[in-house]
């Protein structure tokens, strides 16, 4: 029998802000857009703010009406990324099998680690206390025999809860819950299921498999298994079977300024490149994902020579943006990913004319990765992410065809 933990950080962005600024402790903190802009939304609300009924996705004006004393802060993604890295490093002290699911949650397979650290409840308690003591961040932990049920369990007690949910108890604990509480049941599927009289997870678990497959195709099989607590997937510490690496940022309000968008694309490219190099992959196809002010998703892709370079990812994603989105286009979410992956030095053929440039920039990227791993992600930054002034003075941004970020890359330590 496996013992799987799901560690879920509580009100992560707001908790990070409270951890780095002790004066915010106990105050209603909202990580959001500019509170003076009515169209900004709340990205994360601290638990002090949630007592007023404030929720993620709520417009700023509505949140301010509910809690006039709320502290509005713009998101600091570099800070949150560093806290996330530190959290994962703590988890790795208890097991080598750690799979990060998002910036604020991860699974840990502690099977076989009990003789070192105690039973699953004791291990969960040690992890929770160490994250709190070392990072000053709260988290909730779910424990079960598979990843799915462990994740569901971590949702049951927040904040700072620990829940052990064996598979034998899912009928009593999970089946009475609303069907939308099941992982990967979105609003469209929820409406479809409820229109057919399927209101709870238990209703879904007892629906014939063949009917769900007819209703949702291959996804119907997964939904049926999930409702019945069946999940055989392992905790994957390494992306050996990865199809792509990607990161997204939901912006605090509608962005139209090209300089702000470029800085966001560079931050995303940094994170994607770092993860790809860490797992020893190269990629060929750069994908740009954009959601507009109406949350309509538009994607564009472009294939280049195989690369591990942040510069190549940024240059291509920036070109895709400039070629496909008019000036003043309102952006709410940006995403960058790289796909068509191969293991480095095994299957990819590097363009002969790029060998010298490639090797020099690969060494530079590797050095930056090592500095960040040792001292923190935000210890070293490119000039473009700090201010647009350096780039404006050194490159003809009015003509993006002439802009080469491989030439105009500046670092500050």
List the binding residues for Mg(2+).
8, 104
Residues in Cβ contact with 387 at an 8 Å cutoff, skipping those fewer than 6 apart: none
For residue 265, count CB atoms less than 10 angstroms from its CB and return exposed for 0-12, middle for 13-18, buried for 19 or more: buried
Residue 118 Rama label (left phi>0; alpha psi -120 to 50; beta): left
411-412 and 244-255 strand pairing: unpaired
Alpha helices in 118-217 (DSSP H): 120-135, 147-154, 170-173, 187-195, 201-205, 209-216
Q: One of 105, 270, 311, 315 is an active-site residue; which one?
A: 105
Backbone angles phi, psi at 287, to 5 degrees: -120, 130
DSSP tag of 390: H
For residue 159, whether the previous peptide bond is cis, meaning omega lies within 30 degrees of 0, is yes
For 160, half-sphere exposure in the C-beta direction (CA atoms, 13 angstrom radius) is 10
With DSSP H G I counted as helix, E B as strand and the rest as coil, what are the percentages for the chain, rounded to 5?
Answer: 45, 20, 35
Residue in this structure with the two tokens 């780039």, named with its chain if needed: 391
For residue 189, count CB atoms less than 10 angstroms from its CB and return exposed for 0-12, middle for 13-18, buried for 19 or more: buried
Paired tokens of 382: 């490119």
CA–CA distance, 411 with 396 (Å, rounded to integer): 20
CA–CA distance, 266 with 273 (Å, rounded to integer): 10
Q: Tell me the chain's radius of gyration from C-alpha atoms.
A: 23
CA–CA distance, 143 with 153 (Å, rounded to integer): 7
Residue in this structure with the two tokens 């601290």, named with its chain if needed: 46
The verdict on whether 48 is a catalytic residue reads no
Run of H or E residues at 324 = helix 310-324
Q: Which of 412, 379, 378 is nearest to 80 (CA)?
A: 378
Are 276 and 283 in contact by the 8 Å Cβ rule? The answer is yes
Residues tagged in the binding site annotation: 8, 104
- Annotated catalytic sites, by residue? 105
């Amino acid at each position: 029998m496996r013992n799987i933990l799901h560690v879920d950080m509580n009100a992560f962005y707001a908790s990070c802000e409270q951890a780095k600024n002790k004066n915010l402790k106990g105050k209603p903190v909202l990580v959001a857009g500019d509170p003076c802009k009515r169209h900004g939304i709340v990205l994360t609300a601290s638990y002090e703010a949630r007592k007023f009924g404030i929720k993620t996705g709520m417009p700023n004006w509505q949140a301010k009406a509910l809690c006039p004393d709320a502290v509005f802060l713009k998101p600091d993604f570099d800070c949150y990324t560093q806290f996330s890295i530190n959290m994962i490093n703590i988890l790795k002290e208890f097991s080598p099998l750690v799979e990060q699911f998002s910036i604020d949650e991860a699974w840990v397979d502690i099977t076989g680690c009990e003789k070192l650290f105690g039973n699953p409840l004791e291990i969960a308690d040690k992890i929770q206390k160490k994250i709190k003591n070392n990072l000053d961040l709260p988290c909730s932990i779910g424990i079960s025999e598979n990843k799915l049920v462990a994740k569901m369990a971590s949702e049951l007690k927040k904040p700072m809860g620990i829940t052990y949910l064996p598979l034998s108890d899912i009928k009593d604990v999970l089946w009475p819950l609303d069907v939308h509480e099941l992982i990967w049941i979105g609003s469209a599927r929820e409406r479809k299921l409820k229109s057919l009289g399927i209101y709870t997870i238990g209703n879904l678990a007892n629906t014939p498999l063949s009917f769900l497959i007819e209703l949702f195709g291959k996804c119907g099989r997964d939904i049926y298994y999930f409702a019945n607590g069946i999940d055989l997937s392992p905790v994957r510490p390494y992306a050996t079977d990865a199809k792509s690496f990607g990161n997204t940022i939901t912006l605090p309000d509608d962005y139209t300024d090209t300089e702000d968008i470029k800085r966001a694309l560079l931050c995303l490219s940094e994170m994607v490149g770092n993860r790809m190099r860490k797992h020893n992959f190269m990629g060929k196809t750069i994908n740009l994902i954009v959601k507009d002010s109406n949350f309509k998703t538009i994607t564009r892709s472009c294939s280049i020579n195989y690369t591990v370079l942040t510069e190549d990812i940024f240059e291509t994603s920036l070109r895709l943006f400039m070629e496909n989105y008019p000036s003043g286009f309102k952006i709410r979410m940006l995403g960058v990913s790289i796909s068509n992956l191969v293991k480095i030095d095994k299957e990819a053929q590097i363009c002969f004319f790029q060998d010298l440039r490639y090797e020099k920039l690969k060494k530079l990227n590797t050095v930056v990765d090592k500095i960040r791993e040792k001292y923190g992600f935000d210890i070293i930054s490119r000039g473009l992410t700090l201010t647009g002034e350096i780039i404006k003075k050194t490159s003809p941004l009015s003509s993006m065809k002439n802009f080469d970020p491989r030439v105009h890359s500046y670092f500050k330590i």
